């Protein structure tokens, strides 16, 4: 089911999201809906608060694959990259954001099993952007030159 993507100004985007403790069918239904919603919106990532659910769950869809990260935590962040960013919750805007170039994250999957991943370049940018959402941070808080997107 496609869910409505919450837009900037809604307070749910500013919440410190709760850790996921129940890996049940309702979590999996939410993740399935988020995936469908992200595909329709043609985005690179989506965080649960963006569909109005303030829990620590994000999805990322990049060249390296499709990832569901539940309770993601950085192990380390290395290097630096500066590049363009946008957000499905900030329609029609783009900005330049400084991010680490390489990150390692530990997380759980939709069944609660624990994994880790190393992401670099755009994948690292997407992971950082989505994890920021879980702490109520939008890329617009960090962008140096927020402007109207050209498309």
Give the residues lining the site for Co ion (CB under 5 A). 87
Q: List residues bridging with 93 in a β-sheet.
A: 148
Q: Which is nearer to Co ion, 23 or 35 (CB)?
A: 35
Residue 147 tokens read as 């402007």
DSSP labels, 19-68: PP---SHHHHHHHHHHHHHHHHHT-SEEEGGGGT--BSEEEEEETTEEEE
Query: Distance from CA of residue 64 to its chain's centroid?
Result: 15
Q: Please, what is the minimum distance in Å from the beta carbon of residue 87 to Co ion? A: 3
Residue nearest to Co ion (CB): 87
Structural contact between residues 22 and 54, judged by C-beta atoms closer than 8 angstroms: no
Q: Which is nearer to Co ion, 39 or 114 (CB)?
A: 39
Q: Please, what is the minimum distance in Å from the beta carbon of residue 32 to Co ion? A: 20
Q: Which is nearer to Co ion, 87 or 105 (CB)?
A: 87
Kindly name the residue from 42, 68, 85, 130 that is annotated as catalytic.
Answer: 130
Can you tell me which residue has the tokens 């963006």?
A: 50
Q: Can 130 be counted among the known catalytic residues?
A: yes
Q: Please, what is the minimum distance in Å from the beta carbon of residue 89 to Co ion? A: 5
Query: Which residues are annotated as catalytic?
Result: 130
């Amino acid at each position: 089911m496609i869910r409505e993507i919450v837009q900037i100004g809604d307070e749910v985007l500013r919440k410190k999201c709760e850790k996921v403790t129940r890996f049940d069918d309702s979590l999996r239904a939410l993740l399935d809906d988020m995936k469908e919603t992200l595909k329709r919106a043609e985005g690179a990532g989506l965080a649960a608060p963006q569909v109005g659910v303030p829990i620590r769950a994000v999805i990322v869809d990049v060249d390296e694959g499709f990832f569901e990260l539940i309770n993601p935590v950085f192990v380390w962040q290395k290097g630096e990259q500066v590049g363009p960013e946008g957000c499905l919750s900030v329609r029609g805007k783009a900005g330049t954001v400084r991010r680490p170039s390489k990150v390692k994250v530990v997380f759980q999957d939709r069944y609660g099993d624990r994994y880790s991943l190393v992401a670099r370049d755009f994948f690292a940018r997407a992971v950082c952007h989505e994890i920021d959402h879980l702490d109520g941070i939008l890329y617009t808080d960090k962008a140096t030159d927020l402007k109207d997107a050209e498309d």
